[in-house]
Structure 1
Amino acid sequence: MIPFNKPYLTGKETEYITDAVASGKISGNGKYTQKCQQFFEKQFGFKKTLLTTSCTDALEMAAILIDIKEGDEVIMPSYTFVSTANAFVLRGAKIVFADSRKDHPNMDETKLESLITSKTKAIVPVHYAGVACEMDTIMDLAAKHNLFVVEDAAQAIDSYYTGKDGVKRALGSIGHLAAFSFHETKNIISGEGGMLAINDEQFIDRAEIIWEKGTNRSLFFRGEVDKYGWVDIGSSFLPSEIIAAFLWAQLENLEDIQQVRKQHWEKYHNGLKQFASDNDIELPIVPDYATNNAHMFYLVCQSIEQRSALIEKLRNQDIHPVFHYISLHSSPFYEDKHDGRNLSETDRFTDCLVRLPLFYELNVDTVINQILK
């Protein structure tokens, strides 16, 4: 049986977890947390990073940091996971959904300005499949209208965007804030886990306070204050050292993991090119300004019936592809709150996109051969 996903273990995870336990500090913000955060800051140029227990937590921290209040409007794609929206709904925001591009599930940047009102507070681009949104346009709009940009980079570790200035920037380093995921389905994992990346220095001090349940505990342990107390809202966002130790073993092998995943992605692309053409199926698009971190390989079928047939036939051969998001604007929770605009491209991806298995130890040829059959 070939599952959709199989978590990859480097072999060092349990060794580092044992070391963390033996150190006597497993509650969080210890040695392994610091090692992981320093790695991300050095490798990808984030000004400050804070590990969290999930990407959801990182998004919720971002919503607090940009001071989302009742009635604020936040623009984001409808084709995304519920956490993207939920983080801002919890603070009282109204979600304004943007349609996807015709060639990619990412938000259509050319339609964003028409969605901006006097109540708009933020834009939340989601880098679907680790492929960059067109960030120059988004950042220019944010600057023009005095908005915050929170990148949902859950799928985008080790992926980049090259702007009109020719500078190549890591995804998550462009917006004011960004959220990453280390869920077991991602390239780099810790079972559950995430990270907030902070690129605007005005948020750094408050982020640490929110991260530590609304206290200035981090300042106390660094000797910057004599005692710590409750100074802001917050929650228990930081993960244990056990999670951080697991993550560190993964980060040590980032280059190897990425190399293998990219080889799998290229094999899929080359092996299915003719099949896709013959059956009016779309393969993933990577724009010139983006890189491919091989988070996902998907097909966009011509209809929901074609997709259902493909999934059924592969599952009959013990291969388990899956479809992806149900449009949030048509979800039971939000459909009566949506403004009624037709988001046709979002709905098309909801009906037609199917994700193929992609993990380190996958035999890609087996999947390709069954699809061709």
Structure 2
Amino acid sequence: MTSLPFNKPYLSGKETDYIKEAVASGKISGDGVFTKKCHEFFESKYGFKKCLLTTSCTDALEMAALLIDIREGDEVIMPSYTFVSTSNAFVLRGAKIVFADSEANTPNIDADKIEELITENTKAIVVVHYAGMACDMDKIMAVANKYNLFVIEDAAQAIDSFYKGKPLGSIGHLAAFSFHETKNIISGEGGMLIINDEKFIKRAEIIREKGTNRSAFFRGEIDKYGWVDVGSSFLPSDIIAAFLYAQLENLEDIQSRRKYIWNTYYEGLKELDEKGLVKLPKVSSYATNNAHMFYLVCENVEERSALIQTLKKNNINAVFHYLSLHKSPFYKDKHDGRKLQNCDKYADSLVRLPFYYELTEVQIQTIITQINLFFST
């Protein structure tokens, strides 16, 4: 059997046609025709107040840190079980990161542990919707409102997923999405900032355009543009947007296929969960599942390593995920010493299975069979 990769980018339709169209238009720098189409798609489908494509989700998070004016000494609460970009965006501005533990049943931030971490220096809460499944946003927004804090949704994995009927990314003051090749909808690299609080819209455009009011100039609102604020070059080429738009046109088909794969994995492995041999993903009553990934949680790091190795011998590339950021070489001396046991459990024991549109029925069943065999022996 040919080795099954963990991920495989999928061409859904007209990606290369639209790239040629963008090139033929004579404008392939930022904010071209396809960028505008992508913005309109998200604002119309999900009701986001303002969308701005960025070169990555990391850039969208860095824009968020600039917009809420993070300064040296400000504290930002976030989960330790997340990708380094979630933290880095705020560390770059001088913030102190206060890490919170995950829930026992999901890798999401434990909303009940946030309030006790708030001090007079706390400025924001950053939540990560792990595997596209919603954090407990009502609890989180209630705490944020009580202490007048900003909430930023790291929705990198959460396209087309909902919390009590509200699209993820539409609840906090700001949100960031990813279109990295491992996500449901891709453009190779790429991201998007969502602005739900109108007071940030004008400044967001300026920060994204190197600190200039260039966007207002091109709309004819001013007769010349200049340097008016801090900023950087956060906007992607229209070639990237052209690729992305072709994917968005096929969102429902992609989502339908991914949900089928997710459900097939779940049905094939649920007996292991019922016997207490592994833990499968839990979808909370307030959340939806956008089938971003399928993971299982082993008993410990040794069992996980053995499973990954066994699958590898059978040409199946399964992978683990994040290491606890509070234990990272960069941050361990800055962490306050609290034990984050759920976070560490996921860091040691969570394994992700191959997941992409073109996985065949035979391949999915082969993976399921190998995992069941591993645990039966």
TM-score range, shorter chain: over 0.9
**CA distance in 2 between partners of 1:334 and 1:312 (Å):** 30
Q: What is the aligned-residue RMSD (CA, Å)?
A: 0.7
Unaligned runs of 5+ in 1: 163-167
**CA distance in 2 between partners of 1:109 and 1:137 (Å):** 6
- Aligned identity (percent) is 71
| 2:228 equivalent to 1:226 | no
User: Out of 291, 294, 298, which is 2:291 matched to?
Assistant: 294
Q: CA deviation at 1:269?
A: 0.4
User: Out of 183, 186, 194, which is 1:186 matched to?
Assistant: 183
Match of 2:371 in 1: 371
User: Out of 11, 17, 22, which is 1:9 matched to?
Assistant: 11
**CA distance in 1 between partners of 2:12 and 2:114 (Å):** 42
**CA distance in 1 between partners of 2:15 and 2:343 (Å):** 39
**CA distance in 2 between partners of 1:191 and 1:284 (Å):** 27
User: Out of 58, 78, 81, which is 1:76 matched to?
Assistant: 78
**CA distance in 1 between partners of 2:365 and 2:207 (Å):** 47
Match of 1:350 in 2: 347
| 2:135 equivalent to 1:133 | yes
Alignment-mate amino acid for residue 307 of structure 1: R
**CA distance in 1 between partners of 2:371 and 2:299 (Å):** 16
User: Which SS does the other structure have where 1:347 is aligned?
Assistant: helix
Match of 2:43 in 1: 41
Q: CA deviation at 1:279?
A: 5.4
**CA distance in 2 between partners of 1:235 and 1:173 (Å):** 25
Alignment-mate amino acid for residue 60 of structure 1: E
Alignment-mate amino acid for residue 22 of structure 1: A
Q: CA deviation at 1:31?
A: 0.4
Match of 1:165 in 2: none
Deviations 1:94-135 (A, max 9, x none): 000000000000000001000000000000000000000000
Q: CA deviation at 1:276?
A: 3.1
Match of 1:174 in 2: 171
C-alpha contact (below 8 Å) 2:13/2:250 kept by paired residues: no
Alignment-mate amino acid for residue 323 of structure 2: I
**CA distance in 2 between partners of 1:324 and 1:86 (Å):** 18
Match of 2:310 in 1: 313
| 2:112 equivalent to 1:115 | no
Alignment-mate amino acid for residue 65 of structure 1: L
Q: CA deviation at 1:351?
A: 0.3
**CA distance in 2 between partners of 1:276 and 1:357 (Å):** 19
1:180-259 matches, cutoff 5 A: 180-259=177-256
**CA distance in 1 between partners of 2:276 and 2:132 (Å):** 26
**Structure 1 residues 279, 316: CA separation in 2 closer, same or farther (over 3 Å shift)?**
farther
Alignment-mate amino acid for residue 64 of structure 1: L
Q: CA deviation at 1:367?
A: 1.1
Scaled by the length of structure 2, what TM-score is found?
A: 0.97
| 2:306 equivalent to 1:304 | no
User: Out of 26, 49, 52, which is 1:50 matched to?
Assistant: 52
Deviates more, 1:275-284 or 1:346-355: 275-284
**CA distance in 2 between partners of 1:150 and 1:283 (Å):** 27
User: Which SS does the other structure have where 2:127 is aligned?
Assistant: coil
User: Which SS does the other structure have where 1:9 is aligned?
Assistant: coil
